[in-house]
Structure formats: C-alpha cells, structure tokens
Chains A and B, each alone.
Chain A
Amino acid sequence: MELNARIPSGPIEKKWDKARFDMKLVNPANKRRNTIIVVGSGLAGASATATLGELGYQVRCFCFQDSPRRAHSIAAQGGINAAKNYQNDGDSIYRLFYDTVKGGDFRSREANVYRLAQISVEIIDQCAAQGVPFAREYGGTLANRSFGGAQVSRTFYARGQTGQQLLLGAYQALERQVQAGTVRMFPRTEMLDLIVIDGHARGIVTRNLVTGEVDVHLGDAVILASGGYGNVFYLSTNAKGSNVTAIWRAHKRGALFANPCFTQIHPTCIPVSGEYQSKLTLMSESLRNDGRIWVPLKKGDNRPPDQIPENERDYYLERRYPSFGNLVPRDVASRNAKYVCDEGRGVGPGGLGVYLDFSDAIRRLGRKTIEDRYGNLFEMYQRITDEDPYKVPMRIYPAIHYTMGGLWVDYYLMSTIPGLFVLGEANFSDHGANRLGASALMQGLSDGYFIAPYSIGDYLASNKPQPVSESHPEVRNAVACVQQTIQKLLSINGKRTVDSFHRQLGKIVWEYCGMSRTAQGLDQAIEQIRELRDEYWENVKVVGTGSELNQELEHAGRVADFFELAELMCIDARERNESCGGHFREEYQTADGEALRDDDNYSYVAAWGYRGYGNYPELSKEPLQFEYVHPSQRSYK
C-alpha cells in the first residue's frame, strides 16, 4: 500500500509552523460536540487528554490500572531532554535533532525528529509551570545533566523520579479537566478492539475489568497511547501490565505496524537471579556518568571484585571507545556486555553480568556527592541484591527496555486508519532504530501536549464525522469478536498456566530476536512461536469467570496478542538484511564487530499489514530521505 507521510514542504525548521498554519480549525462552539477517545493515561495519553479537555472537547480516557497516575511512564528515572542550552555548552535545536537522527542510526524521519527537538523546549516550560519539581541550581535555575551518550548537558531531571513527576504533572492536569467536566476517566477498563466504520476509526470496545462488562465507546476520533510492547520478552523493565493489545487489535483492523523488530536493550539492569523472576529492574543510565564498567581479563576469574588488581581488569568500553568510553549509546553498550559474557568473562551467578564500579568516583568526588546523585538508585539496588554498591561494584546486565517499533503514523501522528492517532511509545516514533536516553519522555509529551491536539482539530474540521449508532453492524461485529475471544480463553481449560506460556515465548524471542539475530535463528524462532501459539489455544488454563475481576483472563488475552506480535517481529527482523541500531544481524557487521547498515537497500520504514493469521503479512515501505543529516557509519571511537 502507498504510504503518504504528509510531510509539509519547505525548509525543515519551517515545516511545523507551516503545518500548523495550514491546519483547519474547529469552531469553539463545535468542540463541545466532538467526543475523542484516548486509550492510555501515560505521558502521551494524559497530556493529550488534558490538553484536548482544555480546548473544550469531550474526552474519554481509558487505562487498565486503578488510577491514571499509575501508567508505566511513572517508572522513568533518568530524565527528559530539551534543547534549552541553559548550560551554554553549545546545545541547540539543530544539535538535538542531529544527535537523535544519528543515534537512531538513520532510520527515522528527519521532519518528525526536527519538530521533536523544536517542541522539546516548550515541554520544559509547560512542566515547570505545572509545578514539576525539577532539580535546581542554588541560584534557582533549572539544573541539567548529561545523559546516555550525549556530549552536552541537556537532560532535565527530578531526582531519580523524572517520569513520576512529569506524569503526575500531566495526571493532575487531567484530573483538573475531570473536575471541569470535559474529561471522563475510565480506570480499570481495557480496550479490546477498535471500531472502524466506513474506513474511519469511530470507537473502541472495552472490558470493565471489575464487572467484566463489555462496553462500546463511540467517538469522532480515537487516540491510542498505550505504550510499548517490551513485555513480549516476558522479562523486561516494563511494568507487568504493559501490553501490545490495544495497538495489535488496531493492527488487525487495518493499521500498519512499523519496524516491529526495532527494540531497545538497556545496558544497565540488575541481572536475573532465578526462575521465579517476574521482571527486571533498570538502573538509570545516568549511573554510567560516574560508574566504570569492567570485567576480569581472565575467563572464569571468580575472585571477589576487590581482589582483582587493576591490571587484571578489562574496562572494555573505555578500551574500545576511547572518546565516548562508558557513555556509548545503549545498543553498543549492551552488545559489548553480551560479547564479554559470551567469552565467559561475565560475573555473578550464571556469568551473566558485568561490573559497574563507583570506587573511583567515590574517591574522586566523595561519597556525599555520589549519594546526592544516585542515592535512591543505590538503595534500590541494595534492596534487591542485598549488596552495598558503595563497597562492592554493582552487577549489571542488559535487558529489554523500549520498543522503537509501533503503529505507523504520518507526520500528523495519524495511522493508516483515518481518525486513528497513535502517540508515545505506541507509535513507531521518532527514534529510528535506536532511542537515545531521556528522549522517550520528550516524545510522549510532545505528541500529547503539542502535536495531537492540533492534528485532531485539523482532522475533525476537514472530515466532519457524522454520528454513528451502537447498533451499526461494525459495532456489533467488534463486540462479538471480543466476546468470542473471552469465551474461548475461558473454555479451553487446559493444563498450562498463562504465565508458563508467556515465559517460554519470552525465552524464544530473547534468544533469537534479542541483542543479536541471525536469519536461520529467526526462522527457527518463527517455527517455535507458531507451535507454542497452537499449543496455547489448546492447552492454556484460565480459572475464574469473565464477569468479575479476573487478572488471569486479562493476562491471557494479552499473551495471545504477544504470540502474533512475536512472529511479526521475527519476520521483520528476518526481512531486514542489515544491522542498524537495536537491530543487530550477525551476518552484517564491520570487521571490528560494529553494526553494518545497508542504506542503499534498507533506508526505509518497514510497515506491515495484517493479512489474517498464518498468512505472510504485507510489507509496505516508506523510503527515508536525509537532506540534512547525511548517513554515516556511527562511530563512537
């Protein structure tokens, strides 16, 4: 299918202004009559809901948690980028744009990224005005730190709880609109299908997670801001509830899914400690600013770290990347950790870990400073591992953390289904093949506060959607589908728990579609995923009923979608015969083991169309032009 990204003409720094000017406006009196459905109350969803409410639209916002404030954005620790150049260290909108395109390994859309960099500045103003307690200098100005591979200090933060504070800001703005009567919040309500009428997104089918009621919500436009799908790997840094269901069901209704295989592995997580492990805990990447990463030089050297002399340690990142050292981008840091562990030089149980050592920093800056900077992270680490990072070096290992892939959207964040907008991590976004640290919060808020509210207005003004009734066949059909799936899951009553399937699926995807991938491995994965999925539909056991709070049933539905997604991820990874960013195909690497891109053949966005289960999905390509930042081999040496 022909993909039109609708990128405005003109020089890149003028595109967004031009777009905004060209947009049609909705007459204030009419806004009241438009209902907008927002799935998700994370940074993207909550900010969009609040802003649309402020504009006077009737908004219905949905989340599966018991409160919008608990959306997974709450967990973001490190910070949020903005090209404010408050530190006067040579930052600028253009530099943030440049870094993001380069960091994304030239697989993102220039126009979007530039707009993101432009808007980043307004985000900080907005959040500061909301009372987000950003870190401050003694003089009262906003403090910054350098983060995840950036050479300028452009990251704004609130202790180790930046995501929490930004989300609470958006959440409070949302609740203000609830009080004002423009927004209605539906917590503990899960979207299970998208309603498409005459080719336009007109509503959703939901399940009330407390009463089990299946409901229909109709509106004039639908926003999906349902977050990332990292939990397809079972073990990830995502919240347990994070899922692909919302966007996957939309995908099945015709929205194209872009770059599903672009997933990000975060280098600094706490290693797995046992089979029971339910999730992985991230240690903010800011730790890499002062911590030094190393492993023993010798294989299987299992002396305690403090007994390994300096000259028998291998600070491999500093060795291989002299100029960036421990601050190389995430994918590079992660892959190198994998290599040293594969060489058998890993530390800790199972040899799956590397040291992140603060002893030098503590010597240099004093314990106090380190405490101020990372106190809460150190506590968290000690709470989980029972080791004191002030004394013993931390043990870290990469874990799946973020998904760059998602539903394909045009410049206006509209998917291939008119009226269906996708925001935040749920869309395939501006991060290309790899996301730079502290830029997801930025993207979520820019989508929600500053982009969607404009483009929705334009859509409504130019399409003037007419009312539809709940008795419309498409509505009935969608409701029926949902009810069938629920009934099916409850009726199988097999032998294995949902979790056991999810774990097994996760292992497959991590093994073959994780940090590094091979054609033949991916083929195997596809095989195994299909077998497992078939077993799932015969042998899964879901106890309880559908007419009450039933967490097993919720999980079962999500895992069912993960199976299909997992397959698509492998297909996409298989199709992309190059290495770029988070996608590393062992067949395609440089002499010294760096990712080897193939710009001639793969400089495009791979957008997949659903063609029924078991049928090979349809691939549509959106070619990427680079007029400003010219593709080069990323080098952090």
Chain B
Amino acid sequence: MRLKLKIWRQKQGSRSGQFVTYPMDDVNPDMSMLECLDVLNERLIQEGQEPVAFEHDCREGICGSCGFMINGIAHGPQPATTVCQLTMRHFKDGETLVLEPWRARAFPLIKDLVVDRRAFDRIIAAGGYVSVSTGSAPDGNAILVSKETADRAMDAAACIGCGACVAACPNASAALFTGAKITHLGVLPQGQPERDRRALAMVAQMNAEGFGGCTNIGECTAVCPKEIPLEVIAGMNHDYLRASWHERDNVVKTLRPFTEWSYGSKLQNDPTR
C-alpha cells in the first residue's frame, strides 16, 4: 500500500522544527508503524539524509520507550496498542499520517520524535516504592492478599510509563501515570505503612514537574496502551486528601526538576545535586 508520512523534524538544540512529508510506496500491511519508519530511515540514509529519530526498544508494547502522535491520537488509532505494535493494516491506502512528538513542558523535546521523560522517574523516586531493604522480607505467604486486591493492583501496575496520557491530556497532566503507581501500592497491604507519605510526596513531585492539573477529562485513559482506568486518579486524589488530613509533620521533599543532559565531561556540575 502507499502512504504519506508527514513527520515532525526538529534538530537537536533548535527551538523550532517543521513537518516534512515523505511518500512511502510499498508499505506492507503486516509491518508495524516502527518498521515502516525503519524502511523510511534506510532510504534516508542511502540518500545521505539524517534518519528520523524515534524512541524504541522492546517492540513488544511493554518497555514504554516508543510513542508519538499519529493523526492527533497518542499511539495512533488502535486502542490499547503502542506504536511498535500498531500494524499498518489499520490505515487506508493513500492515507497521510501526521507524526508528531509528545508535547508537554515537562517532556522537553530532544530531537524529531524523541522527548525527555525523566520527570516520570523523579515522580517514582519521590515515593513510588515500598521501603523494604533487601533481606528484610517476611515469607511470601506471610502477607495474604486477596485475589481481587492483587488483580486491582496488577491493573494499575501494568503502566509502562510511555507518557501517552500526558500527551493526550488537554491539560498535559500526569495524573493517570502518578495515580497508577499510587493505586498499585496503595491497595496492597505491603503499601499501607507508607501510603500517606507516598501520596503526598508523589503528588508534590508531579506538581513540581510542571504538568497540568487534572480536570477529569478522560482522554488519558482512552489512549493508554494498558487501559489504566480513571479510577486510579480518584485513588490518587483520595489518598492525597486522606494524607493531607493525617499529616503531622511536613514530610514532603521533591527533587529539583532538571532538563540538562550534559554532566560536563569531568562531571563537575552534577545536575542532580
């Protein structure tokens, strides 16, 4: 089949970019969106042009590396599918596909379709864990977890950290991502001791990162490749409210959001310090 790819090209370091349209003549309906870009890139290299930079690794829809907008929809038209698993058979012959990177202040663009998602790591670092050091664990069956609870936790834990929720949200809010982790750990007995702390710290970091506020619009869950439900956002709000009420002394610490990549060759200026 024939397609036109209208792709956002932006040089590293430059503030602006533009769309460039590439006609594709023999697209195989069975190939994935990324394989389609591979084919394009092979051609560009042959012509001595810079290939399109896009993030990818597992190509199985699990690592969360890949992702960009296709015709205005994060990860493209297929529900519950990442671009690496999106096969071309879902598009019409002769169609033009507009490929655009995630756009959010908290996700600075690096190059072409590649953005910097370290804000997500910092949200997890703020409290997205159970503080149990190696060796201090009781027997696996010492803590019983009902199947329902385990399933709920798993539903939320399935998040792959791709950032599509932020990309699709009219507010560029990270509520679904943050809510997913707060819910995953918040419903499990293992997560109870730190439940309040976690909610306060993660929400604080999320707000510090410059994501927008959630106004319950619901685009996020619709594009989420793992179909994380809006319920997790309510879960976050619930735990945050509860924690704000319980809180006795100020426990909230946040990491300074940083977007630098250069650590300086001798690593003097460490952005994280």
Contacts and interface: CB of A to CB of B under 8 A. Distances in A.
Our verdict on whether A and B bind, yes or no, reads yes
A5 to B, nearest CB: 25
B146 A211 contact: no
Nearest to A450: B134
Interface in B142-167: 143-147, 149-150, 153-154, 157-158, 160-161
A210 B57 contact: no
Contacts of A125: 137-140
Contact of B154 (A47, A159, A543): A159
Contacts of B75: none
Secondary structure type dominating chain B contacts: loop
Interface stretch (A260-268, A274-282, A293-301): A274-282
Contact of B134 (A281, A282, A449): A449
B129 to A, nearest CB: 4
B150 A133 contact: yes
Contact of A380 (B60, B63, B129, B147): B60
Interface in B209-235: none
Nearest to B159: A168
Contacts of B149: 136
A173 B126 CA distance: 11
Interface stretch (B97-105, B116-124, B168-176, B244-252): B116-124
Given A67-B161, A70-B63, A86-B141, A171 B124 contact: yes
Interface stretch (A388-396, A427-435, A545-553): A545-553
28 contacts: A54-B133, A67-B161, A70-B57, A70-B65, A72-B58, A74-B64, A84-B140, A86-B141, A129-B130, A129-B190, A130-B137, A131-B184, A140-B145, A158-B154, A164-B62, A172-B130, A176-B131, A211-B262, A239-B63, A273-B30, A276-B31, A276-B39, A277-B35, A278-B32, A383-B87, A386-B87, A449-B134, A450-B135
Interface stretch (A181-189, A333-341, A607-615): A181-189
Given A74-B62, A276-B31, 19 more contacts: A51-B133, A67-B121, A69-B124, A70-B64, A72-B63, A130-B129, A131-B185, A131-B191, A136-B150, A138-B147, A159-B154, A179-B255, A184-B270, A185-B121, A215-B265, A217-B267, A274-B30, A379-B80, A386-B89
B56 interface: yes
B87 A384 contact: yes
| A interface: dominant SS | mixed
Interface in A44-62: 47, 50-51, 54
B179 interface: no
A211 B261 contact: yes
Most buried by A among B44, B80, B132: B132
A168 B161 CA distance: 11
Interface in B48-81: 48-51, 53, 55-65, 78, 80-81
A210 B261 CA distance: 7
